[in-house]
Every structure is written in C-alpha cells, then in structure tokens.
Amino acid sequence: MTAALYHPQLAAMLPALEGYVPVQMTLDQLAHFRSISSPDRAELIDQRNVDCVDYVIPGYAGADILVSVISRKGHETPGPAIYFMHGGGMVMGNRFAGAAPLVDWTIKHDAVCVTVEYRLAPEHPAPVPVEDCYAGLVWMAEHAAMLMFDPKRLVIFGGSGGGGLAAGTTLLARDRKGPGLLGQLLQCPMIDDRNNSASASQYDGVGVWDTTSNRTAWKAILGDNCGATDVSPYSAPARMADLSGLPPTFIDVGSAEVFRDEAIAYAVGISAAGGQCELHVWGGAFHGFYDIAPQSDLARACLEARESWLDRLLDLPDIAFIE
C-alpha cells in the first residue's frame, strides 16, 4: 500500500533510507539527525572552479552568524546573485546542506551565491531563524558592490525548512521595504505550523519527513505557541493573509508529502493576489526527492523545470521586485 503512493523508482529507495531520513522523529533523536545532515565545505566545493569565502555578519539582535559567499574564480562582472537558506526543518542542517545548485549556478550564470548559517531551533526558537535570514539578506544587498553582483538581479532560494525561511524572508523584505528581489524559488516549502491539511496528516510513518517529524520541528520552533492563533506569518508564511506584492515565484512539491497542500495553497494565494507563481506538483514524489534521488526520471524532470524557470527569470530586464 505504501509503495503505491510513490513513483516506482522512488519507492524502491525507501527501505535503504530507513534511519537516515527523519520519519517519526522526536526531539530526543535530533542529535542523530543533525550528525548526518551537516556536510562540510569540501563536499560542496570539491574540485569545482569556484571560491568560497566566509564572513561573520550581525544576525538577529546583533549576534554573530556566518555566511559563505560562492563565486566563480576570477569573477569580475556584476551579474545575478542567489541567496540561499538550507533545509532541515529549521532544526538541523548547515549552510552547505543542499547547496550544490549554488555551485552549478555560480559556474553557469557567473552568479554570486550566499548561503547563511542561521541559528536553529529549539536552542534558538522563532523569530531567530527567519530574522537571521533577513539579516543575511540585508547584509548581502548592502555589500553588492563588494561582492560584485547586480542588486536588481537578486533571487532568494530555499527548500523544505529553508523554503519556509525564504518565503518568510521575502515577506519581511516586502513589509519592511527591504532589499529588492527578482524572484523567489521555494522547493517543498515548510510554511504552516497548524498541520491541519489533508496532506499534513496523510503521510505519517511513511516517506521522508512525515507528520510526526513535522510536528516535532514546529514545536521546537514555536514552543507552546505552535498552532495558536497569533503565530507570526514571517515564521509560518501560510499564516500571511496578504500575499500581494511578491516577486515572481517558483513553487514545487511532491504529491505524496506532508507539505503538498500548504505549498499548493500558497501558490494559489500568490496568484489570487495578482502575483506570478509557477507551481509544480510532482506525482508520486516524496519530500526532497530531487536531492535524494537526482538520477530518477521524476527528479530529472523536476530539476529541468527549476532550471528553466531560473533561466527565464534571469533573462528578465534588471528590475527588482519588492522595492
């Protein structure tokens, strides 16, 4: 029955993933999953023709946080830039997790890419993660000349928990009249703490990142306020009533994952508010399939769609949204 939920190529992988992906994760298991979700710089860069330089910058409330700036060796001409928030449910991972596309885009587009080491819950609950990410965006925009990119060609990108943080950071930029953004790229974003959709309860004990793990993470982020009426929409963007004035958006999600319904609703909300949103729901896909099984037919199609959207976005005139 479980296998029928998934594309055959993905279903075949699930037995081997047991113990390595957070299914039915409780807080006492967090240390284990953190230990296997934190790649190092060498794994990301390998022998690629890029530089990776760290900066210590002020995060939320003035605390020091790290960002890494990835650029092509010999980069000289200001062009596009991409600001990245890693996944991991806002409770695990580091700034190099899931950042491989940044290296590809640095080489392909001569883009300057920045990935932020935002602080994790439960040690640093909301609003720290999203405020750290916003602080990183402000720093990046303010240092466009030093980093050698065009501030009108800045795109924000994140997946899973990082997708939620990218969405929240974009909302903060809009509402605080902060840095302009050319677009936002949200892959299977984690944006709703209420867990009250069909998909939020449909995938417990199966796949990758299930209902129990999602509840554990949101409880770590929001504490006793999780699911309450006064949760900030910057920490849980599905709570935002006004989705107008956002930049062109790409959202994708698996059809067989917890985040399916909230991702679809967010895309519909952006479109209903007069925005531009491209939505893909990948039939038979579990959470994060494009990273876990990049050679599968489904992941290849997903990555091609993502690349096509980014190519088209970067071909637009140099006019940043949210100005």
* Residue range 135-173, pLDDT digits in tens: 999 999 999 999 999 999 999 999 999 999 999 999 999
pLDDT at 37: 87
Enter the tokens of residue 101.
């596309």
Q: 25-29, 48-52, 315-319: which range is least confident on average?
A: 315-319
Q: What is the pLDDT of residue 321?
A: 61
pLDDT in tens, 232-250: 999 999 999 999 999 999 9
β-pair type (183-187, 112-116): unpaired
Q: Where are the domains of the chain?
A: 3-314
The DSSP secondary-structure symbol of 280 reads: E
Q: Under DSSP, is residue 230 helix (H, G, I), strand (E, B) or coil? A: coil
Mean pLDDT of 33-60: 93
Q: Is 1 exposed, middle or buried (0-12, 13-18, 19+ CB in 10 A)?
A: exposed
Whether the per-residue pLDDT at 301 is higher than 70: the answer is yes
The predicted model gives 29-51 an average pLDDT of 92
Do residues 182 and 81 make contact, with C-beta atoms less than 8 angstroms apart? no
**Percentage of the chain surpassing pLDDT 70?**
97
Domain 3-314: assigned CATH number: 3.40.50.1820
pTM score over 0.85? yes
Q: How confident is the model at residue 1 (pLDDT cuts 50, 70, 90)?
A: very low
Is a pLDDT exceeding 70 seen at residue 320?
Answer: no
When the pLDDT of each residue in the chain is averaged and rounded to a whole number, the result is 95
| Each residue's pLDDT tens digit, 182-226 | 999 999 999 999 999 999 999 999 999 999 999 999 999 999 999
CA-CA distance, 35 to 70, in Å (whole number)? Answer: 24
